[in-house]
Structure 1
Amino acid sequence: MRTLVIGTVLLGAGLVALATGVLPGEAALALVDRVWPVLTFVVAVTVVTELAAGAGLFRAVGAGVARRARGRTLLLWGGVVALAVVCTVFLSLDTTAVLLTPVVLAVALHAGLDARPFALVTVWLANAASMLLPVSNLTNLLAEHHVGGIREFVALTWAPALACVVVPVAAVALLHRRELRGRYTVADDEPPAEDPVLLRWSAGVVVALLVGLVSGAPVWIPATVAAVVLLVVTAWRRPRALTPGLVPWPLVVFASGLFLAAEALQEAGLRALLQQDLAGGGPWTVAAAGALGANLVNNLPAYLVLEPTAAHDPLLLVALLVGVNAGPLVTPWASLATLLWHRALVRAGVDVSWRRYVLLGLVVAPLTVAAGVGALVLTS
């Protein structure tokens, strides 16, 4: 509800700027042309993941990971790490926060394990692992056209993406080394899926979507096709699951408001001010500014405001992505995914205090950003 309210306020402010001429009409039309594929992708992939989760796909995958770990806690945690990375890279950080977090918590609690190392690595990877593909993060989708196609994007991001995964994983493994030792009891009787046909269709659609997202086609196209197919199948098998709530209205309004408000601020003079302040700044400066801005405000407006200072150089642009993607590990509001993750923790009764989260983030976030920028500089 807060997301919807804040988004409505930002959207209203942007429309006022448009009506008063602070935001020129040409700039607003250019913004719409740029962001409609992004928002279309967000809506489509959310519909796919919500329907797939309702069909039991994520529960089935989580149960499969638990069985294959064969009672070894560290191996189960490693499976969660791999699952969080794959989910974030291919289905976005918000998908990991909203749909994977409850599954991870349920698996850990069902096995009688301390859920904190599983919860912490999930949220850190939901942010830090969102570097590799354009679809991994809204900021990447906005940056992609400055870099070229998906191949050019991956060629620049693979090394910082890997570095940004290694640091938080190593940090959680060190912090919770005692809790990750030992074994747990593997459940022998997993409940069957409510509708095996719908589950199989969901799995097939998601696999096809993953292939489509790395095919080089505009990502909104395979996402929209996957959403339509799964909507049709669900209407056939489980029509009651089709509700207006499948569309992430609060997120759409929030993102639209941020886009419009940030563009208005830049047209009002913020772009020139930042270009002057960051003139001549290298990858380290840009990444630091991105991480600081993300933790002070939020990663999306931080990217939008800083993008003009880095868009002319792909190296600087990826450094900015390192800052706004891997840097938001300190404050709760630094990314929407973090707030969504914490809501899932509260629902599951898992206690990870914001105080502990902030203190750990003050150490891990700078190390992660530094590792990402270092890898970028070394491989460029």
Structure 2
Amino acid sequence: MKTAILGGVLFALGIVAALTGIISGPDLSALVGRVAPILGFVVGLTIVADLAAEAGLFSWLAGAAARFSWGRVWVLWLFVVVLATVCTVFLSLDTTAVLLTPVVVLVARRVGASPLPFAFTTVWLANCGSMLLPVSNLTNLLAQHTLGSPAPLTFAAIVGPAAVVGIVLPLVAVAVRYRRELAARFDAAPVEPAADRGLFVAAGVIVLLLVPALVSGVAVWIPAAAAAVLLVVAFAVRRPGALRLGLVPWGTLLFASGLFLVVEAAHSLGLARLLGTVVGTGDSFGALVRLAGGAALSANLVNNLPAYLALEPVGGSTLRLVAILIGVNIGCIVTPWASLATLLWHGRLTGLGVEVPWKRFMIAGLGLAVVALPLSVLALLYL
């Protein structure tokens, strides 16, 4: 609700900017043409993720991981690492934060393990692990356009070294911090069957087909929309009561649209020139760390999406654009509001009775970001 209200305010300000000429007609038309497919992808993928969870797909995967972990918490954790990484890379960071977090926390509780290493794994992988493919993060879809719309695998080759650092470092941090909790053992339980086997199979097949379609080079909104339609049809036949208007992420759409309009207006008023003096120029290691650090600071002050939009015009090269992504993706793990996924993650944990104080979260995130940003830039330059 708060996201929708803030989005409404931002959208209204953007409309005022368009009506008063701050955003010109051609600029507004170009902005709509750029962001409409992205927002369409967000809608399609959100519906797919919600209905797949409703069909029991994520719960079954987590239960199967517990069953085949040989009674060892660290093996279960590794299964969760793989699941969270794949989920983030192919189905976006919000899917991991919103749908996977409660599942893995409940599985951890069921086997008597501490939920904290699992909770931190999901939120850090959701953010830091969201660089590899355009579909992993909305900021990546924006950058893909600016980079000349490379194919997904070409995009992955460009950002790959930095993305690997973003995945590995959080895992090292969790493994070291929670080494005692991860060394525990438990008694494995049988995997609970899905309530509706037909819907479960349909969801599994559709998601399985969606993953390669998202990296096929076709505009990502097309397979996301097709998968959403197929799942909606399946639920309309077998469980129509699960279909509701709330499946469409209205608040997120309004928030993102408002951000796009307001940042476009700010660019028209000279925001890019101001930021250019702060983050500097050049493709050297020092220049890129300065840019990534500025992007991370901006993301943690406001949010990673407006931070990327604000800094994009001062990119100017492939290396600098990737440095901005490093800052707004890997570096947005300090403040709660730096990423919408983090706020959603914390809300899910609170609903489950898992307490993670923001002070503790911010200190841990700051320590991780300080190490991850320069190492990611090093990987970008030399690997």
Measured against the shorter chain, the TM-score band is over 0.9
- Looking at structure 2, the residues matched to 74 and 235 of structure 1 have their Cα atoms a distance apart, in angstroms, of 40
- Looking at structure 1, the residues matched to 67 and 152 of structure 2 have their Cα atoms a distance apart, in angstroms, of 35
Return the match for 1:320 from 316, 320, 324.
324
Amino acid in structure 2 at the alignment position of 1:377: L
- Looking at structure 2, the residues matched to 80 and 151 of structure 1 have their Cα atoms a distance apart, in angstroms, of 24
What percent identity do the matched residue pairs reach?
A: 52
Amino acid in structure 2 at the alignment position of 1:70: W
Residue of structure 2 equivalent to 1:292 = 297
How many residue pairs get aligned? The number is 377
1:150 deviation in Å?
2.0
Residue of structure 2 equivalent to 1:333 = 337
SS in 1 for 2:180: coil
Contact 1:127 1:328 in 2 (8 A): yes
- Looking at structure 2, the residues matched to 260 and 60 of structure 1 have their Cα atoms a distance apart, in angstroms, of 41
Residue of structure 2 equivalent to 1:161 = 163
Amino acid in structure 2 at the alignment position of 1:46: T
- Looking at structure 2, the residues matched to 287 and 243 of structure 1 have their Cα atoms a distance apart, in angstroms, of 41
Residue of structure 2 equivalent to 1:238 = 239
Residue of structure 2 equivalent to 1:33 = 33
Contact 1:23 1:268 in 2 (8 A): no
- Looking at structure 2, the residues matched to 370 and 41 of structure 1 have their Cα atoms a distance apart, in angstroms, of 32
- Looking at structure 2, the residues matched to 97 and 206 of structure 1 have their Cα atoms a distance apart, in angstroms, of 18
1:51 deviation in Å?
0.6
Q: Map Cα deviations across residues 19-51 of structure 1 (whole Å, 9 max, x no partner).
A: 111111211111000000100000000000111
Q: How does 1:227-266 map to 2 (within 5 A)?
A: 227-266=228-267
Amino acid in structure 2 at the alignment position of 1:293: S
Query: What runs of 5+ residues in structure 1 fail to find an aligned partner?
Result: none
1:308 aligned onto 2:310:
no
1:315 deviation in Å?
1.0
1:279 deviation in Å?
4.0
Residue of structure 1 equivalent to 2:351 = 347
Residue of structure 1 equivalent to 2:268 = 267
1:192 deviation in Å?
2.3
1:118 aligned onto 2:118:
yes
Q: Map Cα deviations across residues 72-129 of structure 1 (whole Å, 9 max, x no partner).
A: 0111111111111110000000010110001011110111111011101110110000
Task: Tell me which moved more, 244-253 or 282-291.
Answer: 282-291
Query: What runs of 5+ residues in structure 2 fail to find an aligned partner?
Result: none
- Looking at structure 2, the residues matched to 204 and 102 of structure 1 have their Cα atoms a distance apart, in angstroms, of 23
Contact 1:167 1:371 in 2 (8 A): no
- Looking at structure 1, the residues matched to 131 and 102 of structure 2 have their Cα atoms a distance apart, in angstroms, of 23
Contact 2:63 2:192 in 1 (8 A): no
Amino acid in structure 2 at the alignment position of 1:174: V
- Looking at structure 2, the residues matched to 68 and 263 of structure 1 have their Cα atoms a distance apart, in angstroms, of 50
Q: How does 1:135-150 map to 2 (within 5 A)?
A: 135-147=135-147, 148-150=150-152
Contact 2:280 2:291 in 1 (8 A): no
SS in 2 for 1:178: helix
Contact 1:43 1:247 in 2 (8 A): yes
- Looking at structure 2, the residues matched to 115 and 150 of structure 1 have their Cα atoms a distance apart, in angstroms, of 34
- Looking at structure 2, the residues matched to 341 and 255 of structure 1 have their Cα atoms a distance apart, in angstroms, of 19
Return the match for 1:185 from 184, 187, 197.
187
- Looking at structure 2, the residues matched to 30 and 286 of structure 1 have their Cα atoms a distance apart, in angstroms, of 26
- Looking at structure 1, the residues matched to 86 and 192 of structure 2 have their Cα atoms a distance apart, in angstroms, of 25
Amino acid in structure 2 at the alignment position of 1:323: G
1:149 deviation in Å?
2.5
Task: Tell me which moved more, 272-281 or 71-80.
Answer: 272-281
1:210 aligned onto 2:215:
no
Task: Tell me which moved more, 179-188 or 95-104.
Answer: 179-188
Residue of structure 2 equivalent to 1:378 = 382
Normalization by structure 2: what TM-score?
Answer: 0.97
- Looking at structure 1, the residues matched to 332 and 187 of structure 2 have their Cα atoms a distance apart, in angstroms, of 36
Residue of structure 2 equivalent to 1:20 = 20
1:265 deviation in Å?
0.6
SS in 2 for 1:375: helix
SS in 2 for 1:216: coil
